[in-house]
């Protein structure tokens, strides 16, 4: 669907997967006016299909659009487009336990603009692809590398929204870590180089005793929808949950560390390496991360009561 200056987004339409035509002067190509979202459709044991909190992705896109001076679809338009794309691709949704349909909404400045200012036209589109489980052969603990050189976001930047401009700058850090056998990078804050922020596409949590902690979102960390859901699930299960500044030293002394995101769901961390020092964490079925993972997946596929009304059946 398209939207020109000061108008609402028009009603969109379904079409076969194909290329998008853009002016060379499109705002997205020249000044990076682009936002994306990521969500999944899951198949339940009885064949029904569920989305998980798609309204939250729509709200996050609106907040991002405000930050990047873009026009955005209403939350209703966003959710309708995600529903229609999922329904049209229903036959591609894998059976329960075998994966999901990954859905990628995109909002771009599609209108031409030569000088630095907001594009005169925006395009909202949604595409989808079936994906397998993040871990092909059961859960494998992540080995994370704490980068002391690259930052994912700076104070006053766009780290708090899902801007396309946040991702290419960390490719170098990720590739370098992967070459050394790590799964992903943990970024530190750019002011003190001391407080943990998040990994490249997931949020981070630590467990110490009965307390679960995760960095507070102060504009440099993406407010993950999985992060927020896990905070609620953990509180429901009786854990004390804290959102606050967490120094890297504290992470290294945790009982357990895990990450959350649409792609990884909840993933246990096996080790963290920082300035040449490597700490290893216990892993296993009885870990807090595994209890949270089972609960989240249970809700997403309709196996566990959805008391927060997170799940949308389509
Ligand atoms: N942080 C970053 C930088 C991300 O790209 C993502 C993926 N959207 C997340 C965290 C996790 O967010 P969510 O739980 O909404 O997928």
Mean pLDDT of 66-90: 97
Q: What is the mean pLDDT of the chain?
A: 95
- As a whole-number percent, the residues of the chain with pLDDT over 70 amount to 99
Distance from C-alpha of 66 to C-alpha of 72, rounded to nearest angstrom: 8
Mean pLDDT of 122-142: 87
Whether ligand 1 lies within 6 angstroms of the CB of 65 is answered as no
pLDDT of residue 274: 97
Residue 232, pLDDT above cutoff 90:
yes
Mean pLDDT of 32-50: 95
Q: Find the 154 Cα to ligand 1 centroid distance in Å.
A: 17
Contact 309, 299 (CB under 8 A): no
Residue 136, pLDDT above cutoff 70:
no
Residue 30, pLDDT above cutoff 90:
yes
- As a whole-number percent, the residues of the chain with pLDDT over 90 amount to 89
Instruction: Name beta bridge partners: 34.
Output: 108
Place of tokens 């995600």: 82
Mean pLDDT of 57-64: 98
Mean pLDDT of 266-288: 94
Q: Find the 15 Cα to ligand 1 centroid distance in Å.
A: 28
Q: CATH topology for 2-131? A: D-amino Acid Aminotransferase; Chain A, domain 1 (3.30.470)
Nearest to 27 by CA among 108, 126, 106: 108
Domain with CATH 3.20.10.10 in the chain: 142-300
Question: What H or E segment, with its residue span, contains residue 206?
Answer: strand 203-208
Whether ligand 1 lies within 6 angstroms of the CB of 202 is answered as yes
Nearest to 85 by CA among 124, 33, 30, 136: 124
Residue nearest to atom 2 of ligand 1 (CA): 201
Phi–psi pair at 241, nearest 5 degrees: -120, 135
What band does 138 get if pLDDT is binned at 50, 70 and 90?
Answer: low
| 263-274 pLDDT per residue, tens | 999 999 999 999
Architecture of domain 142-300: Alpha-Beta Barrel (3.20)
Nearest to 183 by CA among 125, 144, 226: 144
Choose which residue among 34, 38, 166 to substitute to test ligand 1 binding: the one with the highest number of ligand atoms within 8 A of its C-beta.
38
pLDDT of residue 137: 62
DSSP letters, 12-56, are: -----S------TTBHHHHH--EEE--EEEEE-TTS-EEEE-HHH
Residue 135, pLDDT above cutoff 80:
no
pLDDT of residue 105: 98
């Amino acid at each position: 669907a398209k939207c020109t200056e000061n108008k609402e987004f028009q009603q969109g339409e379904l079409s076969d997967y194909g290329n998008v035509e853009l002016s060379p002067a499109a705002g997205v190509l020249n000044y990076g006016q682009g936002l994306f979202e990521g969500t999944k459709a899951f198949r339940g044991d009885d064949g029904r299909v569920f989305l998980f909190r798609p309204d939250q992705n729509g709200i996050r896109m609106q907040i991002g659009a405000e930050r990047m001076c873009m026009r955005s679809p209403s939350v209703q338009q966003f959710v309708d487009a995600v529903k229609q794309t999922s329904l049209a691709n229903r036959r591609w949704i894998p059976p329960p336990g075998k994966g999901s349909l990954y859905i990628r909404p995109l909002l771009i400045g599609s209108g031409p603009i030569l000088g630095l200012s907001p594009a005169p036209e925006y395009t909202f589109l949604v595409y989808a692809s079936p994906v397998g489980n993040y871990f092909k052969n059961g859960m494998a603990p992540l080995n994370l590398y704490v980068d002391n050189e690259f930052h994912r976001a700076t104070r006053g930047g766009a780290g708090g929204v899902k801007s396309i401009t946040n991702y290419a700058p960390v490719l170098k850090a990720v590739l370098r870590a992967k070459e050394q056998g790590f799964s992903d990078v943990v970024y530190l804050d750019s002011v003190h180089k001391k407080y943990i922020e998040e990994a490249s596409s997931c949020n981070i949590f630590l467990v110490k005793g009965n307390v679960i902690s995760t960095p507070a979102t102060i504009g440099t960390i993406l407010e993950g929808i999985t992060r927020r859901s896990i905070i609620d699930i953990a509180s429901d299960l009786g854990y004390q949950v804290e959102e606050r500044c967490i120094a890297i030293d504290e992470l290294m002394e945790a009982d357990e560390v895990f990450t959350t995101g649409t792609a990884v769901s909840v993933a246990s961390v096996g080790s963290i390496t920082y300035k040449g020092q490597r700490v290893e964490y216990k892993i296993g079925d009885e870990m807090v991360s595994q209890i949270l993972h089972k609960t989240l997946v249970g809700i997403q596929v309709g196996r566990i009561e959805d008391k927060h009304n997170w799940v949308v059946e389509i």
